[in-house]
């Protein structure tokens, strides 16, 4: 992660959560866009489908940077169809080594029917140990809530919505206007 004050605010201004359980994967985001202590927008879409709808992608960080990374990831997926992990590793390599991309400030969660990955600008492609992963300012709250609910709730969407509501109740940079995308597994 970057160490300057401006980067820290960008990295932590949202909440993205992915939950994989049973025959369904859900990815949710809050809708709040903040600049410092000001809420600029409350209904942003930070989760979307890419690669013809087969992959869910969410971002925390600078919007324009994330869209640039999504475009790059889609180009990698065109070169390596159906190989999300390979495309993610190729993107992470470029992100770490290309001067232009090194300045981009975002974290990505991407998922298909087989895997869920976190891609960082440090060159990391991380596959979570558990079937739940979250990033952003409310990420740890959503992650803890979802992991706590996971054993007791069968529906990944219910887990995701409850966990995101808990994050929204705690984190001032997370609101309760959720965007949800899902994939049947």
| Residues annotated as catalytic (active site), given as ranges | 14
Residue showing tokens 């974290």: 107
Q: Do the annotations mark residue 92 as ligand-binding? A: no
CB 71 within 8 A of CB 81: no
Residue 20 CB: number of other CB atoms within 10 A? 24
- 3-class DSSP assignment, residue 137: coil
Q: Where are the beta strands (DSSP E) in the chain?
A: 15-21, 24-29, 33-35, 38-41, 47-50, 55-61, 106-111, 116-119, 125-126, 132-136, 179-184
**Phi then psi dihedrals of residue 87, to 5 deg:** -60, -40
Q: Do the annotations mark residue 116 as ligand-binding? A: no
Element of type H or E holding 65: helix 63-79
Q: Residue 3 corresponds to which tokens in the numbers above?
A: 């160490």
Q: Residue 69 corresponds to which tokens in the numbers above?
A: 């990374």
Q: Do the annotations mark residue 18 as ligand-binding? A: no
> What is the C-alpha separation between 176 and 32, in angstroms, rounded?
8
Which amino acids are annotated as binding site for Na(+), given as ranges? 168, 171, 174
Which amino acids are annotated as binding site, given as ranges? 168, 171, 174
């Amino acid at each position: 992660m970057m160490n300057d004050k401006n980067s820290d605010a960008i990295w932590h201004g949202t909440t993205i959560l992915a939950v994989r359980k049973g025959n369904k994967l859900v990815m949710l985001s809050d809708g709040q866009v903040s600049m410092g202590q000001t809420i600029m927008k409350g209904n942003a879409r930070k989760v979307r489908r890419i690669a013809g709808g087969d992959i869910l992608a969410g971002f925390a960080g600078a919007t324009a940077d994330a869209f640039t990374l999504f475009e790059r990831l889609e180009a990698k997926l065109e070169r390596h169809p159906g190989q999300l992990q390979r495309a993610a590793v190729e993107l992470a390599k470029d992100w770490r080594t290309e001067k232009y991309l090194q300045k981009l400030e975002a974290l990505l969660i991407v998922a298909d029917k087989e895997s869920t990955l976190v891609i960082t600008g440090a060159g990391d492609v991380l596959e979570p140990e558990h079937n739940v992963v979250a990033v952003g300012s409310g990420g740890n709250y959503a992650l803890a809530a979802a992991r706590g609910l996971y054993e007791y709730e069968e529906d990944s969407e219910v887990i995701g919505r409850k966990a995101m509501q808990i994050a929204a109740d705690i984190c001032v940079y997370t609101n309760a206007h959720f965007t949800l995308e899902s994939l049947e597994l």
